[in-house]
Copies of this chain bind each other. A is one copy, B any other.
Amino acid sequence: MIDDNKLVALLGSGLASIDYPASPAGLYRPVEYTLESGGKRLRPLLCLATCDACGAKAENALSQALAIEMFHNFTLIHDDVMDRSDTRRGRPTVYARWGEVQAILSGDALLTMATQMACRCPADRVSAVMELFNTTAMEVYEGQQYDMEFEGRDDVTVDEYLAMIRLKTSVLLGCACRMGALMAGAAEDTARAMYAYGENLGLAFQLRDDWLDTFGDPKIFGKPIGGDIRNRKKTWLFIMALSEAPGQMADALDGSADPVARVTEIYRSLRLDERCGALVEKYRRAAVDALAGADITDDAYRYFTGLAANLSTRQK
């Protein structure tokens, strides 16, 4: 049986055993600071759970799970420089605490450390691991590039948006699952099915993220509600409203005293809260459907369907 607590403990011991050289401290302290900062650890858990589900010990995929978490954290360090973000996970970002120069260089180091960690496996698998890891990394950069380009555009389509979040967020979840299957020596069909599970899960996850930022419960969400609207972020909700009610959106964003409330009202009047929820549900179902192609136990099937249900209805 896949035991989440055991996987979390395994991951924790893996993170604790990462060897940070004592010097130069200016390079390695920001890396250590970032990796100890928590977060959902969703990606490495997917990797470990998939390895377990494919009939191998979760330990077999530990280095690769860590590598994916390290890669994810590297992207956050650099994203925070690019976005000039001061806070993440309730703490100062590396950018805010050590400055831009240090955030760039420590991020670079973390990317290479992630690559080193990914390569810790039987020599005959390194080639396949690198292929998956590096291809995914390139897709994530492409997603980040599109996300930034969308900031300056008012004509982003929903399809473009979905393609962007697939690259920026979903492929890394797909990669985590496939990596777990790879380290378990699973058949290609299973590996591909688990990738599709992770990919669709990632789309549901990101769309739920967009939904929560506007419609979440302020007492549970943990961040101020409406940040995306305030920043005019091109989320699914924002793009749909721009396309279906451009005049109202222009009025709401241009000189309205409380744009967050006004835009939220427009979203509701277009029933975008429900429609976004239906889209989350569509991708959750696609994720679950993908599991049919994976040779995993009934117990593992229940684990992954449960995880998809939780992520699609999470309140924070």
Task: Give residues in A with beta carbon < 8 Å to B.
Answer: 21, 24, 26-27, 78, 81-82, 101, 104-105, 107-109, 111-113, 115-116, 119, 123-124, 126-127, 130-131, 134-135, 137-138, 141-142, 144-146, 148-149
Contacts and interface: CB of A to CB of B under 8 A. Distances in A.
A149 B119 contact: no
Contact of A24 (B82, B104, B108, B142): B142
21 contacts: A24-B146, A26-B148, A78-B105, A82-B101, A82-B104, A104-B104, A105-B144, A105-B145, A108-B111, A108-B141, A109-B141, A111-B112, A112-B138, A112-B141, A113-B138, A115-B134, A116-B130, A116-B135, A123-B124, A123-B127, A130-B130
Residue picked from A27, A113, A131, A146, most chain B C-beta under 10 Å: A27
A126 B130 contact: yes
Nearest to A114: B134
Contacts of A142: 21, 24, 27
Contacts of A115: 115, 130, 134
Nearest to A131: B119
B104 A141 contact: no
Given A119-B134, A130-B130, A24 B149 contact: yes
Nearest to A136: B112
A2 to B, nearest CB: 30
Nearest to A135: B116
A109 to B, nearest CB: 5
B78 A108 contact: yes
Contacts of A134: 112, 115-116, 119
A86 to B, nearest CB: 17
A31 to B, nearest CB: 10
A105 B141 contact: yes
Nearest to A118: B130
Q: Which 5 A-B pairs have the closest CB atoms?
A: A123-B127, A27-B145, A24-B145, A126-B127, A112-B137
Contacts of A127: 119, 123, 126
Nearest to A130: B119
Contacts of A82: 101, 104-105
Contacts of A104: 78, 81-82, 104
Contacts of A135: 116
Contacts of A124: 123-124
Contact of A148 (B101, B109, B137): B101
